[in-house]
């Protein structure tokens, strides 16, 4: 494997989900779509985990209620769900190095983005 590419390669379910999401880089954002060719934010995360044979809820708000919460950004691992904004209406997959793999908003495509430029505060992560 590559060395030094990400601080911690995703392992197990999270790694499989992250790899699935990576295969959708460049796919268009479409509200309320959960793949396989267009996605909204929680559609991408739920589709990605489904490829890892893990069923998670469809909406970001519901996804925030599962798994183990991680409040320290330094504890996040690749593939963890990461939630933004006070009403947790946005979710992505942690990509390492302070980056998120996500479907940002209408008019964009699935892409990497720095957590600092999402536009809302990082609230917490969830390890599924």
Active-site residue, from 5, 33, 89, 102: 102
Q: Identify the pLDDT of residue 85.
A: 97
Kind plus residue range of the DSSP H or E element containing 46: helix 41-51
The answer, yes or no, to whether residue 11 has pLDDT greater than 90, is no
Task: Give 3-state DSSP helix, strand, coil % of the chain, rounded to 5.
Answer: 25, 25, 50
Q: CATH says 12-127 is which class?
A: alpha beta
pLDDT tens per residue across span 85-128: 999 999 999 999 999 999 999 999 999 999 999 999 999 999 99
Order of strands across the sheet with 122-127?
68-70, 122-127, 81-84, 90-96, 99-102, 111-114
77 in Cβ contact with 89 (< 8 Å): no
- Decide if 89 is catalytic: no
The domain segmentation of the chain, as residue ranges, is 12-127
- Decide if 33 is catalytic: no
Global pTM?
Answer: 0.91
Averaged pLDDT for residues 58-66 = 97
- Decide if 5 is catalytic: no
């Amino acid at each position: 494997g590559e060395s030094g590419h990400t601080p911690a390669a995703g392992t197990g379910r999270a790694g499989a989900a992250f790899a699935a999401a990576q295969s959708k880089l460049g796919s268009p954002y479409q509200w309320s779509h959960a793949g396989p060719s267009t996605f909204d934010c929680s559609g991408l995360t739920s589709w990605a985990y489904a490829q890892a044979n893990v069923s998670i809820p469809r909406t970001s708000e519901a996804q925030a209620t599962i798994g183990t919460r991680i409040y320290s950004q330094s504890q996040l691992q690749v593939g963890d769900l990461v939630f933004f904004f006070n009403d947790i209406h946005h979710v992505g997959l942690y990509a390492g190095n302070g980056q998120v793999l996500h479907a940002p908003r209408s008019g964009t495509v699935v892409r990497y983005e720095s957590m600092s430029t999402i536009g809302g505060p990082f609230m917490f992560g969830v390890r599924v």
